[in-house]
Amino acid sequence: MNIAIDAMGGDHAPHEIVLGAARAAAHFPDIRITLIGDEAKIRPHLPSEERIAVIHTDEVIEAADEPVRAVRRKKRSSLVRMAEEVKEGRADAGISAGNTGALMAAGLFVVGRAAGIDRPALAPTLPTVDGKGFVFLDVGANVDARPEHLQQYALMGHVYAKQVRGIANPRIGLLNVGTEDQKGNETMKRAFALLKETDLHFIGNVEARDLLQGAADVVVADGFSGNVALKTIEGTAMALFSLLKQALTSSVAAKLAAAALKPKLAGLKKMMDYSEYGGAALFGLNAPLIKAHGSSDANAIFHAVRQARDMVAHDVIGTIKAELERAALIKEG
């Protein structure tokens, strides 16, 4: 199994990207990794070259670049070259911590959309208070979504939660403004009705306040609402940890309490760190692509590689295609 990584994408590239990739290669003996980027900047950070190859390119898509234009004009960029490795079958999956829009554009224009999928979805796995986490899609691939798209998102999330996360019968929830069946706009009402018609374990509407409580194993949303919810969760977590830090350093007594609580606080921080779950999978393509967070460190890249490996090993893409075909046959029948 070969995993291609854009070594130049992200705030801490290439150093943290390379270290995370090397750690993954050492940990998983059944994978090979191809790092794509400026070879002169990559090799000094490689602790070992065992099962790691480097493809040189000195072109980079920057965070400020317009995504579609950048993918079309910067064909030698590390991100586009990574997508080409996946498209041509030289890599089984791809990872980038770079420009999100550019990765989505490369996914559509280079890797290609899977047959039967109308629109792809960006799907991170977020932590919950019970430690189980949930798959959240879409968080920004498409700001608008028709009811049929939300139904497809639910199916893709179901396959991922079952195949990769090991949940036998994942609970599917629809993000809405209330839990009652008739809540929401016409799109949400129609999506609710479509999801009720499937054989998925659809539990109904869920509210944003219940997401981190583990209300569902898969939460479906349009990209606009999903992105707002995701950024709110991120911002709230940052604010809470900042306030906690201020409180625990405000006096000598507080600092002594902080020292006693340090192991517990470290455990809490790790439990709520979504980088432990990997990156955001871009579902609906012909092969797995993972969007790692822009601020990813080596640990986040390691888990993104683990996630990509799991998606390939469990044939998530093939299973999604098979489930779509089965659903179409059931609908026709």
- The pLDDT mean for the chain works out to 92
Of all residues in the chain, the percent with pLDDT exceeding 70 is 97
Query: Same CATH fold, 121-279 and 2-117+284-319?
Result: yes
Statement: residue 6 has pLDDT above 60: yes
For residue 329, is pLDDT > 60? no
Inter-residue long-range contacts of 185-192, CB under 8 Å, 24+ positions, other chains counted: 187/145, 187/146, 187/147, 187/150, 187/222, 190/147, 191/147, 191/150, 191/151, 191/220
Q: Model confidence over 29-79: pLDDT tens digits?
A: 999 999 999 999 999 999 887 899 999 999 999 999 999 999 999 999 999
Q: Domain 121-279 falls in which CATH fold? A: Isopropylmalate Dehydrogenase (3.40.718)
For residue 274, the number of C-alpha atoms closer than 13 Å in the C-beta half-sphere is: 23
Query: Could you tell me which CATH number the domain at 2-117+284-319 has?
Result: 3.40.718.10
Q: CA-CA distance, 121 to 124, in Å (whole number)?
A: 10
Domain limits of the chain?
Answer: 2-117+284-319, 121-279
Q: What is the pTM of this model?
A: 0.91
**What is the mean pLDDT of the segment spanning 285-314?**
96
CA distance 280 to 309: 14
pLDDT one-digit tens code per residue, 165-183 = 999 999 999 999 999 998 9
What is d(CA 206, CA 199) in angstroms, rounded to the nearest whole number?
19
